[in-house]
Amino acid sequence: MFAWLRRHPSATAYLLLAPGILYLALFYVWPTVGMFLVSLETGTIQTGYTQSWNFGVYPQVLGEYWGDFLNSILYGGAATLATFAIGFPLAWFVAFRGGRYKTLLLFLIIAPFFTSFILRTISWKIILADNGFLLGTLKDLGLLPDETRILATPVAVIAGITYNFLPFMTLPLYVALEKIPPSVLEAAQDLYADPLSRLRRVTLPLAMPGVIAGSLLTFIPAVGDFVNAELLGNPRTTMIGNVIQARFLKVSDYPTGAALAFILMAAILTGVLVYARLAGTEELYGARAG
């Protein structure tokens, strides 16, 4: 075996990849194929489902639920931008100013993950209530009109998604920023680059692997989220995840739910491939090929 590997050194890489490929085949590719086949079935849970190759379900669900798909993309995109706006300064501070407190600061960033996702979202429902701690205090101080409300609006949904997925953006950004040698920033300063120029022309380009990874890790689960829209939104802020959850667990309409899930997954995969192509997949690995 070892002699054969020495004669075929390239085979070693494939052997090392084999467990990962097998895992993806069993727990991603095969379930995806099964979900696609379910989406083409017709029938009811009472009478049973039969495979009828009903490809017409796809234009049907796209026409019926395009607004929910649009909400998911808009809310997920807005939350991704918001997490970057909050996470980049936070990651920069931890990487360059954290000093001996870096471990503590990183722990505080991930500390909310030790609490249930549901409980974290419910806490935002309490905070954003019309007479809650935030709005109630501002209204009592006369800083906001009494009719002002955030809960059950798109703003509340985006705020909840942003809070819940903030560590997914912050941690990759921190890893990328922490790898930047201080001497590079010092050289830029010695060349009379002002802070904004250093950020735009040095720090941000070097941190692009973290930006790309953080964007993907945040946007993908944010688009498929349904908890924040359910607890913080209203019927007009429904995301496609809410529709899929209802179709599977409430209506028991498995073909429609499977079709919606397959469309969502295919759209996300296509978007990721395009994004990686435009941004440069080599940035994710820290080096250019060749």
Q: What was the pLDDT predicted at 17? A: 82
Report residue 272 as tokens: 């990721």
* Beta carbons of 154 and 75 less than 8 angstroms apart: yes
Q: Is the pLDDT of residue 7 over 70?
A: no
Is residue 288 one of the residues assigned to a domain? no
Is residue 180 one of the residues assigned to a domain? yes
Q: What was the pLDDT predicted at 285? A: 47
pLDDT band at 274 (very low <50, low <70, confident <90, very high): confident
- Summarize pLDDT for 135-163 with one digit per residue, the tens: 888 888 888 888 888 999 999 999 999 99
Is residue 58 one of the residues assigned to a domain? no
Is residue 125 one of the residues assigned to a domain? yes
Of the listed ranges 193-202, 241-250, 255-264, the least confidently predicted one is 193-202
Q: What single string gives the DSSP state of each residue in 50-75?
A: EE---TTHHHHHHHHHHHHHHHHHHH
Distances in Å between the Cα of 209 and the Cα atoms of 133, 182, 203 are 38, 18, 12
Residues 6+ apart with CB under 8 A from 193: 201, 202
Which of the two residues, 7 and 69, has the higher pLDDT score?
A: 69
Is residue 165 one of the residues assigned to a domain? yes
- Summarize pLDDT for 73-107 with one digit per residue, the tens: 999 999 999 999 999 999 999 998 888 899 999 99
- Tell me the pTM: 0.85
Q: How many domains does the chain have?
A: 1
280: alpha, beta or left? (left if phi > 0; alpha if psi -120 to 50)? left
Q: What was the pLDDT predicted at 108? A: 93
* Beta carbons of 157 and 228 less than 8 angstroms apart: yes
Query: What does the pLDDT average to over 172-198?
Result: 85
- Summarize pLDDT for 203-239 with one digit per residue, the tens: 888 899 899 999 999 999 999 999 999 999 998 999 9
Is residue 205 one of the residues assigned to a domain? yes
Q: Report H helices in the chain.
A: 2-7, 10-24, 30-39, 57-97, 102-110, 117-127, 133-140, 154-178, 182-190, 195-198, 204-206, 208-224, 227-232, 240-249, 254-279, 282-285
CATH number for the domain harbouring residue 210 = 1.10.3720.10
| Average pLDDT score, the chain | 88
Is residue 267 one of the residues assigned to a domain? no
Query: What does the pLDDT average to over 15-32?
Result: 88
Is residue 67 one of the residues assigned to a domain? no
287: alpha, beta or left? (left if phi > 0; alpha if psi -120 to 50)? beta
d(CA 143, CA 156): 19
Query: What does the pLDDT average to over 49-57?
Result: 92
The residue segments making up the domain with residue 116 are 76-238
DSSP class of residue 28? Answer: I
Q: What was the pLDDT predicted at 289? A: 39
